[in-house]
Structure 1
């Protein structure tokens, strides 16, 4: 009996020791991640980073990701420069404007790209049902909603008007956040609106109509936005930048191959109904940056007075681009 009790006691001691050892190893293998704040916009473009966070692509690299939605690329650029965010997502025009003004920024990865299909892109200029505006040329002299003034919305819409034979200098832009665009269009506060998904499908499923595919009119397979950081962050923590870039690339690749998961994740940060979720036109999420398309955006931005001087893509883009 004594031998039995001794054996039981020994087993209990071994089990407890094993459990403590196992727990110590688990704690060592999964340390708390480094807190990383990223500025984004609540539109379909950033679905990959939300999906990558949900799939653990950042956590497995030791990154505790926190995402904050802003109205547009401009505020995000300012947030990264000021140190509010370590990384940001911004359209290429905002980044070029900041770079041409001397801001110490560097793109780390592609963000989102046009599908290249007129009438089936995730970005469009839309009007309400019954509008007398039928083509981009009809936008001349009209009030057009964009999320941020003197930015990628302005210059790409102007290009659609030019392509249709209209006077691109006679356009009136009004800044309206993307989530409020559908209501502004219905209320007649603007004659037309530039939107991306999911606001595009919100308007189209309510009877709106597309009059121009502004990204497609601007450049073939346009790289629309990039993930970026500050030169200070690169100098201070190059490993973090490398890990974040790897996680973003994995997120882009995963999103491109899992469209239904993309549709589901959008609803977690941009309230949409099932009709919009099913109807959304998904953008492209290539890993590579289309430099040729950005050269066109730089030329147009300079022509439209958005840039004080032509941006240096060599300074802005990663060396591999």
Structure 2
């Protein structure tokens, strides 16, 4: 039965062989709960993998590390992956899905005493994002368009998400594109306020990120890729079906405590790496000039094998609105 109640069954052909060591790039965000689940439940060990994780700032930072072999897999936002494919076809492969947007899981935050009230007020303001030309800037541009603005009307800068709260409080930036657990942390520690949900309108339910490897590694180590996919699919199904598991895992690889982890907004953990969903990202990128020409996402996808048993609740529903989220909502 899927879910980790019993010992996982190894898929490696030679269980006496030493485990294959891989290094995986992660971020301190909910998207990466699947890695923590796979480690805790022994799914990597069962597949003959010994996994070391290192933190990366974003997909754009992880890409050269994948190409050099410093990383074998990494969390990768779909915007970065699709841009890479448009510029250098055949360099990157996406091997499993990771995360999809849900309401209030990705928001633009401002200080509690900020005079900014709507996105229209951002003209001339300084906005921090994790990386430029990413899912952060793409969704921000969509929000700016609705408000009658463009990216040229604001000042964008790359900042580590771990530093955004301090930059906001010191007045060095006016707004920050944040995800959990930093949204909740900023609210709790400094009274930060949500200016706008970044995943509404044409960005609602937007696929956010998957797990990537280099095409070279996928070609030269197909059995390792398959082992990684199998372990991740089992863990993805577990976190998709159990919000409590995510809350327990978050404190193990982020600075969020257990109480806060129980109340943050969680997105969706898809199981299928479906081209029809991920194509939405490429089409949106074309509209906002992130791509010069239309791009078919199918060549960069390596769909994982189906999991043995699909859990009854394979997609995590949004939790009931907490008092914090009611207060965050303007």
TM over 0.5, shorter chain: yes
- Equivalent residue, structure 1, for 2:214: 230
2:89 is the counterpart of 1:105: no
Aligned residues of 2:207 and 2:277 also touching (Cα < 8 A): yes
Do the aligned partners of 1:40 and 1:67 also contact (CA within 8 Å) in 2?
Answer: yes
Decide whether the 8 Å contact of 1:148 with 1:176 is kept in 2. Answer: yes
For structure 2, the 5+ residue unaligned runs are 1-13, 306-330
Matching residue within 213, 227, 230 for 1:246: 230
Q: What are the equivalent positions in structure 2 for 1:279-318 lying under 5 Å apart?
A: 279-289=263-273, 291-318=275-302
Shift of 1:124: 0.7
Cα distance change, pair 217–173 in 1 and its aligned pair in 2 (3 A): farther
Specify which structure has the higher proportion of helix. Answer: 1
Contact conserved, 1:51 with 1:255, CA < 8 A, in 2? yes
Q: State which of 76, 82, 85 in structure 1 corresponds to 2:62.
A: 76
Going from structure 1 to structure 2, the CA distance change for 1:170 and 1:303 (only over 3 Å counts) comes to farther
Q: Tell me the secondary structure at the aligned position of residue 183 of structure 1.
A: helix
1:157 pairs with 2:116:
no
Superposed CA deviations along residues 10-41 of structure 1, whole A, max 9, x for unmatched, are xxxxxxxxxxxxxxxxxx85643110111122
Distance in 2 separating the partners of 1:60 and 1:110: 21
2:242 is matched with which residue? 258
In the aligned structure 2, how far is the partner of 1:215 from the partner of 1:291? 20
Rg bigger for which structure?
Answer: 1
CA drift at 1:293: 4.7
Q: How does 1:54-93 map to 2 (within 5 A)?
A: 54-93=40-79
Deviation at 1:309, TM superposition (A): 4.3
Shift in alpha-carbon separation, 1:192–1:317, aligned structure 2, 3 A: same
Name structure 1 gaps, 5 residues minimum.
1-27
Q: Aligned partners of 1:30, 1:277: CA distance in 2, in Å?
A: 39
Q: Count how many residue pairs are aligned between Structure 1 and Structure 2.
A: 290
Instruction: Say if 1:188 and 1:276 are closer, same or farther in 2 by CA, change over 3 A.
Output: farther
Taking only aligned residues, the RMSD between alpha carbons, in angstroms, comes to 2.2
